[in-house]
Each structure stands twice: as structure tokens, then as C-alpha cells.
Amino acid sequence: MTATPILHDRLPEHATGLCLAVLADNAARPGFCAEHGLSLGIVLPDGGLWLWDTGQGGLFLENARRLGLSPETARGVALSHGHYDHAGGLEHLLRRPGFKGEIVAHPAFAIPHYRRAASAFACDIGCRCPGRLLKGRLRLVHAPTRIDSGLHLLTAIPRQRGNRQATDGMFLDAGGQWPDIIPDDACLVHRQGDTLTVILGCCHSGVANTLDAVRDHFGNGVIGLVLGGLHLAGETHETIREAIAALVRHGVQSVGPGHCTGETATALLRGHFPGPVIPLAAGMVIEPGGNAP
């Protein structure tokens, strides 16, 4: 039986399971602001708060306030990778005196990251947070790591031959000579009982590779919800259908596409994915289905 996620206007007061608040996304609900970026507030069943990415700047802090959430109380920030639209707001949070949490990331989040489109030169899309603000806060992880009760950061995701990766146009240098495979790309997984919630950043490792890594690490639990950026904007219908096939193959029950997924991919998901499809927007609060202990 498919468990449908429950949507709320604000954080529920008496939730017994995981709750996810969308603090920054390319779309926004009325009364909230949007940007090209991603940030989520993750409220664990014990009430503890984690942040998943921080968007481009301080916008996620304002959207959190409007939802009645205090990012300063977070136990930490887990970073999906070191691009500006996911780590740009980190400096804003670290400059707030009330925040005492840690920053958990793959070591390569701080390496140079560039993207080249039509120009002969690539633009800098890396993390610009001053190193002095990270001193004493940073926990670097090289492999899948449990960061809190039921909450795991999966990084160093293996890239299987034949599976798509979303790394085209990415480089380690401004001249576009050294390709960047974005080794810091990660996903977050919450496990409660036999149910898994998979939280994506940009999914540069590719949907199939990411879900294969989740299965390798957690076994055959039910993947109740996959949400976040699937990095399918601008891709062909064939590529999008391959991603949908991977979701179906792994038994994913519902999908929350956001950020870099794109309108075409979201429309195809709605037409071809057999379960609920819930596009993300800043100001949305999601209580994943199947949260019973």
C-alpha cells in the first residue's frame, strides 16, 4: 500500500515522525520567497532539527521564520555539495551568535567548482563561505555516515558504468580544462522502522546511482519518499524517463521534485510515475507517509 505524504501549512505540533520544511526552492507558496537554490529543515521524531543545505543566501532564514522554525537551534547543517545555490547561505547562519551546530560535508565541498555554458570561460559556482567561520564547526566525512538518530549522510556515491551522471559542463578551473565529477555530491537518508526517506540536493551522481547506493547501504526497506533536486532540467525525454524507471525499479512510493528538476521532468513524472508526485515550494511542510514507529 502506498503511503501518501501529508502536507501542512506550518510545522505540526504533535508529529510522531519525520517532518520536512522547505526553506528555499525555485518555487514558493504565497507569503514566501523563491530563489534558485535549495534548503530544507529536517525535524526528527525526537524534535531535533537539522538543516539540509542553505540556499544561495539568507532567504532560507526568513522563510524559516515565517514557518515558525528557528535555524539557530539546529544541531547542524548537512551539505549536499559545495555549489553556491546549496551552500551560499552558510555564512549567514554562521554569523548568527545563537547557532552552535556543526557542519557535516564531504571534504571536496570546498574545492573549486566552475560551470561553463555559452561563454569560453567558466563561472565560479563554488562555496564562498570564509574558512574562519567554519573553524571548529566542520565535520568532514568520506563515506556513508550516521549523523543523528535515524539520519545518515550518504556521500562518495559510486558511479556505475552506464548510469547517467549530471556533471556536463562542470569544471575544476575557470578555463574549462579539468572536468569536475562533483565527488562531494551526497544525499541524506532518514530511516524509521523499515521506511526510508531519501533527500536529494542536486543529485549530480544521477538518480540511478544514488538509489543504488541507498539500496546497497540500507537493504530492501521501503523508500517511502524521494524529494529534492533530480537535476533533470533541460534533459531529453529519454533521460527523464530513465530516471523515472530508476525510481520505479527501486519501489519508490512518492516523489517530491524540486529545485533543478525542471518543469518538463515534473510534468513527465506526473504522467508516468505511478505514485504521488508533490512538487516542492518554499513554505511547504511535508510529513512523509509511513512514519509509524
pLDDT at 293: 40
C-alpha cell at 82: 559545495
- pLDDT tens across 127-163, in order? 999 999 999 999 999 999 999 999 999 999 999 999 9
pLDDT at 55: 98
Strands 76-78 and 102-105: parallel
In a domain, 1, yes or no: no
> What is the tally of structural domains in the chain?
1
- pLDDT tens across 68-104, in order? 999 999 999 999 999 999 999 999 999 999 999 999 9
In a domain, 96, yes or no: yes
DSSP string, the chain: -PPPPEEESS--TT--S-EEEEEE-SSB-TTS---S--EEEEE-TTS-EEEE---SSTHHHHHHHHTT--GGG-SEEE-S-SBHHHHTTHHHHHTSTT---EEEE-GGGGS--EE-SSSSSPEE-B----HHHHTTTEEE-SS-EEEETTEEEE-S----TTS--S-TTEESSTTS-SB---TT--EEEEEETTEEEEEESS-TT-HHHHHHHHHHHH-S-EEEEEEEE---TT--HHHHHHHHHHHHHTT---EEEETTS-HHHHHHHHHH-SS-B----BT-EEE-S----
pTM (two decimals)? 0.96
In a domain, 2, yes or no: no
pLDDT at 1: 53
In a domain, 10, yes or no: no
List per-block mean pLDDT (blocks of 10 residues) for the chain, which spans 293 residues. 82 86 98 98 96 98 97 98 98 96 97 85 92 95 97 97 95 94 98 96 98 96 97 97 98 98 98 97 90 43
pLDDT at 266: 98
Among 282, 74, 284, 288, smallest CA distance to 197 is for: 288
Among 66, 81, 73, smallest CA distance to 24 is for: 66
Which domain CATH number covers 235? 3.60.15.10
In a domain, 9, yes or no: no
In terms of residue numbers, what domain contains 48?
Answer: 16-287
pLDDT at 118: 63
In a domain, 152, yes or no: yes
